Amino acid sequence: MRIFQKSSLPTRTPAIAAIACLVAGLGVTAPAAHADSGTITPAYSNGSSWPAAPTGPQLMYGQKQTVLALSSTGQDVAFAVSGGCTVEAVASSAPSSQAQITGTSGDTDCTVTMTSPAGNGLDAASVTYTMEAIPTGQTVKYGSVMSKSTVKLNKTYVLAAYPLKTDKGKTVTFKINTGSKYCSVTKSTSKGWRLKVGSKTGKCSVIATAAAVPPNYAAVNRKQFWSVVK
C-alpha cells in the first residue's frame, strides 16, 4: 500500500513561479512624506490676536483697519480681499507683514485671504477670514449738556438747534426716555431743542433719533442720562 503525504506548501506552476520572481525583483518605493502646512497668525495693530478663523473682526464702512500677519514658514504674507473692502500693503518690519483694509460697504462682508510660501520645513500656509460689514454712524451737532452727567433743579439747557439734521440730511428729534417727572423736552425755532429740569431731585434721560441711510449709515439712537441735583 502506498501512503501519500500532503505537502505543507502548494506546488507552484511554472507561470506562478515566474510571476513571483518578477514581483520579488521589483523595488517598491514608499510615497514621500508631506510636510505639515504652515500657519498664519493675524493680529491687530496693537499686537493682540484676531479671533479664530473663519470669523474676523467687524469692519465699519469707511473704517481703515491695520492687520499684522506672521507666518510659521518664515516667509512674507500676501493679502487678497473680495466683497465690501479694499486692501493696501504697508511697509513693515520683519518678520511680520502688514496691510491696511478699508471698508467700502455697510452691508457687504469683506473676505480676506492671507497666504505665504513654503519654508522652515513647512508647506505653504493659507487662511481665510470673513469680516462682518457694519454701517458707520451719522454726525449730529449737540449742545454741551449732551456730554454732562448732572443738571440742576429748575434750569433749562439747550439740547441742539431746531430743526436739526444729521450730516446726511436726516431729521433728528428728541424725547424723554426716562424720568418724565423730573425733566421735559421742548422745541422752538428761536430757542432750539431744550431740556427743562423740574423742582425735584432724581434722574432723567432723553433719546435723540434719526433714520438710517442704507446701506452705509446707521440710524441715530443717542441716549443721555443725567442726575438732577440742587
Give residue-wise pLDDT tens across range 130-147: 999 999 999 999 999 999
110 and 148 assigned to the same domain: no
120 and 180 assigned to the same domain: no
For cell 492671507, what's the residue? 114
Whether residue 185 lies inside any domain: the answer is: yes
60 and 99 assigned to the same domain: yes
Structural domain range at position 109:
40-134
pLDDT given at position 18: 44
State the amino acid at position 111 in one-letter form. T
Whether residue 77 lies inside any domain: the answer is: yes
pLDDT given at position 48: 96
3-state SS assignment for residue 161 = coil
Please give the average pLDDT of every successive group of 10 residues along the chain, which has 230 residues.
40 45 46 78 95 96 97 96 97 88 98 97 98 98 98 98 98 98 97 98 98 98 98
How many Cα atoms are found within 13 Å in the side-chain-facing hemisphere of 184? 7
CATH number of the domain within which 188 lies: 2.60.40
Whether residue 50 lies inside any domain: the answer is: yes
CATH number of the domain within which 88 lies: 2.60.40.10
pLDDT given at position 216: 98
> Element (H or E) spanning 157, and its range?
strand 156-160
Whether residue 1 lies inside any domain: the answer is: no
Structural domain ending residue among the three candidates 78, 107, 134: 134
pLDDT given at position 94: 75
What DSSP designation does 126 have? E
pLDDT given at position 1: 37
The structure's pTM equals: 0.79
